[in-house]
Amino acid sequence: MSEPILQVNGLKRHFNVGRGQVLRAVDGVTFEIRKGETLGLVGESGCGKSTIGRTIIRLYDATAGEVLFKGRNVHQMNRKEMRQFNREMQMIFQDPYASLNPRMMVGDIIGEGLDIHGLASGKERRKRIVSLLETVGLTAEHANRYPYEFSGGQRQRVGIARALAIEPEFIIADEPISALDVSIRAQVVNLMKRLQRERGLTYLFIAHDLAMVKHISDNIGVMYLGSLVEKASSQRLHENPLHPYTEALLSAIPIPDPQVEKERQRIILSGEIPSPISPPSGCRFRTRCPKAMPECALLEPELREVEPNHFVACHLYH
Amino acid sequence: MAEIQLSPNEFIPVPRSAAQSERIEAPTTSFWADSWARLKRNKLSIIGLWIIVVLVIMAVVGPFMLKYAYDFADTLHTNMSPNAAHWFGTDSLGRDQWVRVWEGARVSLFIGFMAALLDLVVGILYGGIAGYYGGKVDETMMRIIEIIVGIPSLILNVLMIVYMGPGMTSIIIALAITGWVSMARLVRGQVLQLREQEFVLAARTLGAGSARLILRHLIPNVLGIIIVQATYSIPHAIFSEAILSFLGLGIRVPLASLGSLCFTGLDGLRYYFFQLLFPGVVISLIIFAFNILGDGLRDAFDPKLRK
C-alpha cells in the first residue's frame, strides 16, 4: 500500500452566524487518502462536504484539527510553501456557470495557472493551452471564446482543464457533476477516471449521489451533519452498509429492473436534517434513525474500525 | 389509407464526429462588443449619446463662434432678444448670451465630469477595500458611510464651500464629498457578492494574489455597473451645482455655469424670458441625455440578458 498523501485529523470548521451562535459545518472529521486513490464523500446538502473540501485547500481556515498534505500542515504554511501547495492541489467546482470568469476568454482562464506560476509564456503557453483543451475533448478554436458560448458540460471540462494546467497531484472535485444533465455526467466522470489513470491523480470526490460516487471511488465516506458516520471501500459499503444512514442512502438508489424495483423496500427517513447550529445530543442521526436506542441520546458514537478498512460511528456496533 | 412501410435498414445514421459536436458555430463576441451592439439597438440611448457629443463639442467651440468674450459687457446693447449679431441675445449687462451659455455649459460639464471622476476613484477604492476585506473592516467602513449619509448633503455642500471659499475647485470637492458614497456602496455590494463566486475561489486556489484578483477578476465584472452609475452621477453633479448657484454659492461672476445663468435669467423672467430659456434648455438636455444614456447602458450591461 502506498503512503497516504492527505491526512485530515479531527478537522473542525465553525462559522459565526451572529448573536453568539456557531454553525458547526464540519465538526471533527478524520480520514486519509492514499496516492492515486479516490475518496468519495457523500451526504445530504448542508452536511459540510463542500466545507471540508474548501478547508482542505485552505479557502477557509480550520477552527481546529489539522490537514497534512504530504506530511506538511496546510494551515501553517507560509507564503512560499503556499505557492508550492497551490501547484500540487487543485479544485474543480460545482457550478459550471459560476466557476468561469465571464469576462475572460477560455484560453486565458485555462492559462491563468501558467501565468501565476510563470510556467509558460508566448508560443509555449499557447501550445500548452491547446493540448489541455484537447485533453478534455475540446479544440484549439475554443480558446478564443467566452464562457457564455459553452454548454454546461463543456464549461465543466474547461474547469477541469484549468485545474490540470499546473499539473497537480491532488484534485478536490466539489460536486463536479451535480449541476450537469444526467446524459453528460458519465462523460465528465469518465474523463476524470481517464485522467486519473494517465496522470496518477488522487481525488477527493464530493457528491450527494451515491451511485456516481461508487463508480469512481475506491473508498467512500458518508457524512451526516458535519461528521463522518461510515467509511469503507466502495465495494464493501455497498455490500454491507452498517450505519442506518448509509442503509437509507443506499436504498434510495433505483435498481434498473422494474420487477425488483417494484418489490424493493425503500427506507424513508422521517423529518428534516437538524440545524448544524444546535445539533442533537449524543448521536447526531438519532432524531431520524429508525434504530435509535436510549443510549444514542447520551453518548456521541466514535468512528471505530469494525472490520478491516470499514469504519462506522454507531452504537449498534460497539 | 395506405400505410407507410418502413424497415430499419432504410435508416442510416448521419455521420457526426465527436469534434463536430463540440463545435460552436456562432462568431465570438466579447462582453464589451456585445454590450455596444445592444446599446446601438436602443434608439433613445443613441440619441442621448449624440446629444452629449454635440453638447460637448458646442461647449468647446461654441464660445469661439461669435467674436465676443464671455465677460465683455456692452452696455449699449443690454437685454436684447436673439438676433443676427447675438444669436441668443444679451443679458442685462450686454454680455452675449450665446457665448455665455456655451461657456457655462463647459463649466457645468467640467464640474460634472470631475465630480463623477472623483466619485469613481474614491468610491471604487473605498467600496472595493470594504468589500474585498469584508468582516470588521467592512463593518467599520460602512458605519462611516452611514454617518456621512445621515448629514443632509446640501448642508455638507454649503459648509464645505463656505469653508474652502467659492470657486470651481471647492464646488467639485464639495460635490464629490457627498457623491462618492453611493458609488462606494454599489461597488462594495458587488465585490462582496463576487468574492464568493466560484471563479474567484478558483483563482485563489491557483494562487492568485490580491492584485490579480482585483484587476483581472473583480474590476472587469463590476466595471459595467460602475460605468452606469458614473453616467448617472454626472447629471447629478451638474444639477447639484445648479442648486448651489441658485443659492448664490456657485460659480462666481463673471464666470458662468448653466445654473448661475438660470439664476440671473430668473430676474428678468417677465420681460426677457430668453435669458432663462436658453441655459434652461441646455441644462435640461444635458440631464435628459445622460439619464437616457444611463438607462440604455444599464440595459446593455445587464448580465441577466446573457447566458
Parse chain B into domains and list their residue ranges.
33-58+97-305
Which residue from A minimizes the CA distance to B210? A116
Contact A146 B29 (CB under 8 A): yes
* Best of A112, A150, A175 to mutate (most B CBs within 10 Å, chain B): A112
Touching check for B22 and chain A: CB below 8 Å? yes
Touching check for B18 and chain A: CB below 8 Å? yes
Q: Which of B119, B35, B61, B33 is nearest to B293 (CA)?
A: B35
Which residue from B minimizes the CA distance to A166? B206
Distance, in angstroms, between A165 CA and closest chain B CA?
10
Q: Which of B97, B63, B102 is nearest to B78 (CA)?
A: B97
Residues of A in contact with B307 (CB under 8 A): 97, 148
Q: Return the SS3 of A26.
A: strand
Residues of B in contact with A141 (CB under 8 A): 23-24
Q: Are A304 and A311 in contact (CB under 8 A)?
A: yes
Which residue from B minimizes the CA distance to A140? B23
Q: Are B142 and B188 in contact (CB under 8 A)?
A: yes
DSSP assigned state of A265: P
Q: Is the peptide bond before B254 cis (omega within 30 degrees of 0)?
A: yes
DSSP assigned state of B80: P
Q: In angstroms, rounded to a whole number, what is the distance separating the alpha carbons of residues B124 and B187?
A: 6
Residues of chain B with pLDDT under 70: 1-2, 16, 18-19, 303-307
Contact A93 B201 (CB under 8 A): yes
Cell numbers at residue B53, please?
457629443
Distance, in angstroms, between A127 CA and closest chain B CA?
19
Nearest to A137 among B18, B204, B220 (CB): B18
Q: In angstroms, rounded to a whole number, what is the distance separating the alpha carbons of residues B122 and B126?
A: 6
Residues of A in contact with B210 (CB under 8 A): none
Distance, in angstroms, between A113 CA and closest chain B CA?
6
Q: Are A222 and A250 in contact (CB under 8 A)?
A: no
Q: In angstroms, rounded to a whole number, what is the distance separating the alpha carbons of residues A243 and A314?
A: 6
For chain A, list the domains and their CATH numbers. 4-317 (3.40.50.300)
Touching check for B211 and chain A: CB below 8 Å? no
Q: Which of A228, A278, A254, A239 is nearest to A65 (CA)?
A: A228
Contact A86 B199 (CB under 8 A): no
Largest CA distance in chain B: 103
Residue-wise pLDDT tens digits, A159-182? 999 999 999 999 999 988 888 888
Nearest to A90 among B28, B205, B216 (CB): B205
* CATH architecture observed for domain B33-58+97-305: Orthogonal Bundle (1.10)
Q: Which of B64, B250, B82, B269 is nearest to B157 (CA)?
A: B250
Size of interface A-B (CB pairs under 8 A): 85
Touching check for B208 and chain A: CB below 8 Å? yes
pTM of the shown model: 0.81
Contact A101 B199 (CB under 8 A): yes
Q: Which of A165, A233, A175, A157 is nearest to A199 (CA)?
A: A165
Distance, in angstroms, between A18 CA and closest chain B CA?
12
Nearest to B199 among A98, A138, A166 (CB): A98
Question: Per-residue DSSP letters for B1-18?
Answer: -PPPP--GGG--PPP--H
Q: Return the SS3 of A197.
A: helix
Question: Per-residue DSSP letters for A207-218?
Answer: ES-HHHHHHH-S
> How far out from the chain centre does Cα A243 lie?
20
Q: In angstroms, rounded to a whole number, what is the distance separating the alpha carbons of residues B198 and B255?
A: 54
ipTM comes to 0.88
Contact A101 B203 (CB under 8 A): yes
Question: Among positive and negative, which fits the CA dihedral A302, A307, A311, A314?
Answer: negative
Contact A149 B28 (CB under 8 A): yes
Residue-wise pLDDT tens digits, A248-290? 888 888 888 888 888 887 788 877 788 888 888 888 888 888 8
Q: pLDDT 10s digit of each residue in chain A, 318 long? A: 567 899 999 999 998 887 888 888 898 899 999 998 999 999 888 888 889 999 999 999 899 999 999 989 999 999 899 999 999 999 999 888 899 998 899 999 999 999 999 888 889 999 999 999 998 888 888 888 888 888 888 899 999 999 999 999 999 999 888 888 888 888 888 889 999 999 999 999 998 888 888 888 999 999 998 889 999 999 998 888 999 999 888 888 888 888 888 888 778 887 778 888 888 888 888 888 888 888 888 888 888 888 888 999 988 877
Residues of B in contact with A162 (CB under 8 A): 202, 206
Contact A103 B31 (CB under 8 A): yes
- How confident is the model at residue B19, as a pLDDT? 65
Which residue from A minimizes the CA distance to B208? A116
